[in-house]
Amino acid sequence: MRRKQAAGPRLVMAGALLALLGLLWGSQMLKAFDYFSSWKGDGEQQMYKLDISWPKIPEYFSGQTFCVAVDSLHGLVYVGQRGDDVPKVLVFSEEGYFLYSWNDTVEMPHGIFVSNTATDSSVWITDVGSGKYGHTVKQYSPSGKLLQVLGTPGNAGSSLNPLQFDQPAEVFVEENGEMYIVDGDGGINNRLLKLSQDYKEIWLSGENGTGIGQFKIPHSVTVDPFGRVWVADRDNRRIQVFDKVTGEWLGAWSSCFSEDGPYSVRFTGNYKYLIVAHLNINRLAILAAPPVGEIGDCAIVSTIQLADETKPHLVDVDMKSGAIYIAEIGAQQVQRFVPLS
């Protein structure tokens, strides 16, 4: 009778082989997971806390605070507000002290942006008023002196020559002077416009609709260092992304916005995250920013839930400190949230 051979050595060898394959497969999976999670995140986490000391005297907010812009270079914060017999622009220090205000030629500020170049600083405001200063994008000195008017004041339109707007929502200006304007906030235009340093059209994208490159109230715009323009397509409940050189459509995010459309888009100082404001659910969402060359779909890394009826409208980020400033039209204030680390 033939004796059975011991299975021990074979089992040991098979086990070792499986273990080796498992290690190799596992290392590849870990690499894939690390790449994916490096920009998608691994679940929500608390990233910011409210700075209750900012501003020092909240009573200076005397109207509806629609927009806020941070001058990280000079440590200033500009707030645009609306209302009868109220200063339309308030200026604070980054520590929260009120400095001064100005009001001339500003009717109904909607968006505000600070532009710093090697030689000077300026403040750009989109004005959606229907009076003699409305339907314009205007450049001011830090003290409020009017420097430049784009559009036909008091007259809405869609013309590119002369340049016209209808309730322009927001403007973003690059260091080289090129600018991106989302037009408009409920008017006849639904478009993204790129202008040169001398305010000539470079490219134009968009019309009213739900298709690729179309908009329903393009409400906010920002640019990343990788040549991509990000637009909050508010009523379509998505963010659309374009090539900043050609205007070519690169992709869109929609899955994160089932509850409410995006009202504001701003990157953090390290460009790892995109801050999005949701007015109707009183919330800020912090989304993972995709790496170069990839749009994919959105992933929420963290949220900031605000009080009921706060209504965050537009936000800005201090690119040095990382602080988020939120203009809240419901609470009629600007709040500052600072990073936990």
Greater pLDDT, 221 or 28: 221
User: Residues 99-111: what's their mean pLDDT?
Assistant: 95
Report the percent of the chain where pLDDT is more than 90.
83
| Calpha distance 188→191 (Å, rounded) | 10
For residue 240, pLDDT over 50 is answered with yes
Q: Is the dihedral of CA 197, 198, 201, 207 positive or negative?
A: positive
Contact status, residue 57 vs residue 49, Cβ threshold 8 Å: no
Amino acid at site 143: S
User: Residues 180-190: what's their mean pLDDT?
Assistant: 95
For residue 40, pLDDT over 60 is answered with no
For residue 55, pLDDT over 60 is answered with yes
Q: What is the pLDDT of residue 43?
A: 55
Most confident of 18-22, 36-40, 122-126: 122-126
Q: Is the dihedral of CA 325, 328, 333, 339 positive or negative?
A: negative
For residue 7, pLDDT over 70 is answered with no
197-205: long-range pairs with CB below 8 Å, 24+: 199/148, 199/150, 199/163, 201/160, 201/163, 202/178, 202/247, 203/246, 203/247, 204/160, 204/247, 205/242, 205/247, 205/249
> How does pLDDT run across 73-104, given as a tens digit for each residue?
999 999 999 999 999 999 999 999 999 999 98
User: Residues 279-295: what's their mean pLDDT?
Assistant: 93
Q: What is the pLDDT of residue 9?
A: 44
For residue 338, pLDDT over 50 is answered with yes
Q: What is the pLDDT of residue 181?
A: 98
For residue 14, pLDDT over 60 is answered with no
Q: What is the pLDDT of residue 27?
A: 39
For 253, phi then psi, to 5°, come to: -115, 135
Q: Which distant-in-sequence residues (6+ apart) come within 8 Å of 321 by Cβ?
A: 72, 94, 269, 338, 339
For residue 316, pLDDT over 70 is answered with yes
